[in-house]
Chain A
Amino acid sequence: MYGYDEDRAERGKKLVNELVILLKTAQIHDVGNLAFDQPIEKFHHTLGLLFKNDPEVTLSLEGDSLFLGETKLKIDIDGFTNLMFIIEEMKKREIGAIVFLRGINKREVITFCVIFSKLDTNLPDPFERSQQKMIQAHLSNPEIEPYQETKEKDSIDDIFKDKKELAKQTYFSTVTAVSEVMDSLKLKQAVSLKRSKRVVQSMVDQILQEDTTLLGLTNLRSHDEYTYNHSVNVCILALALGQRLGYRKRSLSELGMAALFHDLGKYDIPLEILNKATDFTPDEWEVMRGHPIMSVKELVRLKGIHEMAVKVAIGAFEHHLNYDLSGYPKLATKRKLSLVGRIVCIVDCYDALTASRVYSRIPFAPDKALRFMLSRSGKAFDPILMKLFVNAIGVFPIGTLVLLNTKEIGVVAASNPNPEKGDRPKIRVILDPSGNECDEKYIDLSEEDSHGGFCHDIVNVIDATKYKIDVGKYFL
Chain B
Amino acid sequence: MLDSGRDAIEKEADYDKAEVLSAKEVVQLLTKTAKTLKIYLPNNPIHQKFINNLFEKLETHLQDFGPLRFRVRQFELHCSGQPVYENMNRLESIAFRLFVDGLRELSFHPGLEKDELITFLKILGRESSEEEGEEVSESAAVDDDIVTLLWEKHLTHIEYIVLDDLRGDQDAIDQSKEMNPPPPKPQQLNAVYQQEAMSDPAKLLKKGVEMPSLHTFKLTEEEVSSIKRELRWEEEIDIVTELEGMLFDILRIETEPGRFVEVLEIIDHIFEELIFKGDFVHARKVLEFYWEMLNPEKGHAEDLISLVKEELRQAGNPKRILALHEVLNRLSSEQLDEFLPFMVLFQKEVIPSVIELLTVVEGMKTRRVLCEILVELGQMDIEPIMSRLNDKRWFVLRNLIYVLGKIGDVRVIASLSKFVHHEEIKVRKEVLHVLDTMMEDDATEMLMEFISDPDLSNRVYAIKSLVKKKAVNGLPFLFNLIATNAFEEKALYEKKEIFSAIAKLGGDDAIPEISKHLEVQWSLFKNIQADERAICAVMALQRIGSPSAVDALRKGNQSRSKTVREACRKSLELLGLDV
Contact A304 B253, CB 8 Å, known A198-B162, A314-B246, A339-B230: no
Cβ A461 vs Cβ B218 within 8 A: no
Residues of A contacting B162 with CB < 8 Å? 198
Give the distance in Å from the alpha carbon of A42 to the alpha carbon of B156 in the complex: 24
Cβ A409 vs Cβ B179 within 8 A: no
Find A296's partner among B102, B196, B246 (CB 8 Å cutoff): B246
User: Taking beta carbons and an 8 Å cutoff, which residues of A are in contact with B?
Assistant: 1-8, 52-53, 77-78, 168-173, 175-177, 179, 192-195, 197-199, 201-202, 220-222, 227, 229, 245-247, 249-251, 253, 293, 296-297, 300-311, 313-314, 317, 329-333, 335, 338-340, 367, 371, 374, 384-385, 387-388, 390-391, 395-396, 401, 403, 405, 407, 409, 419-423, 430-431, 433, 435, 437, 457-462, 467-470, 472-473, 476
B18 at interface, CB cutoff 8 A: no
Q: Quick one: which of B258-285 are within 8 Å of A by CB?
A: 262-263, 266, 269-270, 273-274
B387 at interface, CB cutoff 8 A: no
B7 at interface, CB cutoff 8 A: no
- Shortest distance between the CB of B201 and any CB in chain A (Å): 9
Contact A470 B182, CB 8 Å, known A305-B239, A308-B143: yes
Residues of A contacting B152 with CB < 8 Å? 6, 249-250
Give the distance in Å from the alpha carbon of A2 to the alpha carbon of B223 in the complex: 35
**11 interchain pairs (CB within 8 A)?**
A172-B176, A172-B179, A176-B169, A192-B142, A227-B178, A314-B246, A332-B249, A332-B253, A338-B237, A437-B186, A469-B192
Give the distance in Å from the alpha carbon of A6 to the alpha carbon of B149 in the complex: 13
Cβ B143 vs Cβ A307 within 8 A: yes
Cβ B196 vs Cβ A462 within 8 A: yes
Cβ A407 vs Cβ B204 within 8 A: yes
Interface-facing stretch out of B33-41, B206-214, B338-346, B418-426: B206-214
Cβ B207 vs Cβ A459 within 8 A: yes
Cβ B175 vs Cβ A77 within 8 A: no
Give the distance in Å from the alpha carbon of A176 to the alpha carbon of B167 in the complex: 12
B184 at interface, CB cutoff 8 A: yes
Q: Quick one: which of B193-235 are within 8 Å of A by CB?
A: 193-198, 203-209, 211-212, 214, 216-219, 223-224, 226-228, 230-231, 234-235
Residues of A contacting B159 with CB < 8 Å? 1
Cβ B263 vs Cβ A297 within 8 A: yes
Q: Nearest chain-B residue to A250 (Cβ)?
A: B152
- Shortest distance between the CB of B143 and any CB in chain A (Å): 5
User: Taking beta carbons and an 8 Å cutoff, which residues of B are in contact with A?
Assistant: 1, 102, 111, 113, 138-139, 142-143, 145, 147-148, 151-154, 156, 159, 162, 165-167, 169, 171-173, 175-176, 178-184, 186, 188-198, 203-209, 211-212, 214, 216-219, 223-224, 226-228, 230-231, 234-235, 237, 239-240, 242-243, 245-247, 249-250, 252-253, 262-263, 266, 269-270, 273-274
- Shortest distance between the CB of A381 and any CB in chain B (Å): 13
Q: Nearest chain-B residue to A407 (Cβ)?
A: B197
Residues of A contacting B153 with CB < 8 Å? 7
Please give 7 more A-B residue pairs, beta carbons under 8 A apart, in addition to A7-B153, A476-B180: A2-B1, A306-B139, A310-B243, A317-B250, A423-B214, A435-B193, A462-B192
Cβ B142 vs Cβ A193 within 8 A: yes
Cβ B231 vs Cβ A53 within 8 A: no
- Shortest distance between the CB of A147 and any CB in chain B (Å): 24
Cβ A172 vs Cβ B217 within 8 A: no
Cβ A409 vs Cβ B242 within 8 A: no
- Shortest distance between the CB of A349 and any CB in chain B (Å): 17
Cβ B243 vs Cβ A305 within 8 A: yes
Give the distance in Å from the alpha carbon of A435 to the alpha carbon of B183 in the complex: 16
Find A420's partner among B205, B214, B247 (CB 8 Å cutoff): B214
Find A431's partner among B183, B197, B253 (CB 8 Å cutoff): B197
Give the distance in Å from the alpha carbon of A461 to the alpha carbon of B203 in the complex: 11
Cβ B270 vs Cβ A304 within 8 A: yes
- Shortest distance between the CB of B272 and any CB in chain A (Å): 9
Find A459's partner among B192, B204, B224 (CB 8 Å cutoff): B204
Choose among B162, B184, B203, B235 the residue with the greatest number of A CB atoms under 10 Å from its CB.
B184
Cβ B217 vs Cβ A419 within 8 A: yes
Cβ B243 vs Cβ A300 within 8 A: yes
Cβ B243 vs Cβ A7 within 8 A: no
Residues of B contacting A222 with CB < 8 Å? 178-179
Give the distance in Å from the alpha carbon of A188 to the alpha carbon of B14 in the complex: 50
Give the distance in Å from the alpha carbon of A240 to the alpha carbon of B173 in the complex: 25
Residues of A contacting B198 with CB < 8 Å? 435
Cβ A249 vs Cβ B151 within 8 A: yes
Cβ B266 vs Cβ A387 within 8 A: no
Residues of B contacting A422 with CB < 8 Å? 214, 217
Give the distance in Å from the alpha carbon of A338 to the alpha carbon of B197 in the complex: 45
Q: Nearest chain-A residue to B173 (Cβ)?
A: A172
- Shortest distance between the CB of A180 and any CB in chain B (Å): 8
Cβ B139 vs Cβ A303 within 8 A: yes
Contact A194 B171, CB 8 Å, known A301-B266, A409-B196: no
Contact A6 B154, CB 8 Å, known A245-B227, A409-B197, A473-B184: yes
Residues of A contacting B214 with CB < 8 Å? 395, 419-423
Residues of B contacting A457 with CB < 8 Å? 207-208
Cβ A169 vs Cβ B166 within 8 A: yes
Cβ A293 vs Cβ B250 within 8 A: yes
Cβ A176 vs Cβ B181 within 8 A: no
Contact A179 B219, CB 8 Å, known A306-B143, A338-B237, A395-B214: no
Residues of B contacting A8 with CB < 8 Å? 154
Give the distance in Å from the alpha carbon of A309 to the alpha carbon of B270 in the complex: 13
Cβ A331 vs Cβ B253 within 8 A: yes
Give the distance in Å from the alpha carbon of A348 to the alpha carbon of B214 in the complex: 23
Cβ A246 vs Cβ B249 within 8 A: no
Cβ A461 vs Cβ B273 within 8 A: no
Residues of B contacting A246 with CB < 8 Å? 231
- Shortest distance between the CB of B33 and any CB in chain A (Å): 23
- Shortest distance between the CB of B344 and any CB in chain A (Å): 24
Give the distance in Å from the alpha carbon of A387 to the alpha carbon of B212 in the complex: 11
Give the distance in Å from the alpha carbon of A423 to the alpha carbon of B217 in the complex: 11
Residues of B contacting A338 with CB < 8 Å? 234, 237, 242
Cβ B151 vs Cβ A296 within 8 A: no
Give the distance in Å from the alpha carbon of A470 to the alpha carbon of B196 in the complex: 17
- Shortest distance between the CB of B104 and any CB in chain A (Å): 13
Cβ A310 vs Cβ B239 within 8 A: yes
Find B218's partner among A300, A301, A387, A407 (CB 8 Å cutoff): A387
Cβ B211 vs Cβ A53 within 8 A: no
Cβ A430 vs Cβ B242 within 8 A: no
Cβ B165 vs Cβ A199 within 8 A: yes
Residues of A contacting B142 with CB < 8 Å? 192-194, 197, 306, 308
- Shortest distance between the CB of A339 and any CB in chain B (Å): 5
Residues of B contacting A340 with CB < 8 Å? 234
Cβ B224 vs Cβ A77 within 8 A: yes
Q: Nearest chain-B residue to A190 (Cβ)?
A: B138
Q: Nearest chain-A residue to B181 (Cβ)?
A: A470
Residues of B contacting A476 with CB < 8 Å? 176, 180-181
- Shortest distance between the CB of A60 and any CB in chain B (Å): 19
Residues of A contacting B139 with CB < 8 Å? 302-304, 306, 309
Cβ B226 vs Cβ A384 within 8 A: yes
Find A53's partner among B156, B179, B239, B253 (CB 8 Å cutoff): B156
Give the distance in Å from the alpha carbon of A175 to the alpha carbon of B145 in the complex: 23
Q: Nearest chain-B residue to A461 (Cβ)?
A: B209
Give the distance in Å from the alpha carbon of A423 to the alpha carbon of B218 in the complex: 13
Cβ A300 vs Cβ B270 within 8 A: yes
Q: Nearest chain-B residue to A423 (Cβ)?
A: B214
Give the distance in Å from the alpha carbon of A208 to the alpha carbon of B351 in the complex: 58
Q: Nearest chain-A residue to B249 (Cβ)?
A: A331
Q: Nearest chain-B residue to A253 (Cβ)?
A: B148
Contact A202 B193, CB 8 Å, known A305-B274, A405-B207, A457-B208: no
Residues of A contacting B182 with CB < 8 Å? 470, 473
Cβ A172 vs Cβ B172 within 8 A: yes
- Shortest distance between the CB of B69 and any CB in chain A (Å): 13
- Shortest distance between the CB of A266 and any CB in chain B (Å): 17
Residues of B contacting A5 with CB < 8 Å? 154, 156
- Shortest distance between the CB of A440 and any CB in chain B (Å): 14
Residues of A contacting B249 with CB < 8 Å? 317, 329, 331-333, 335
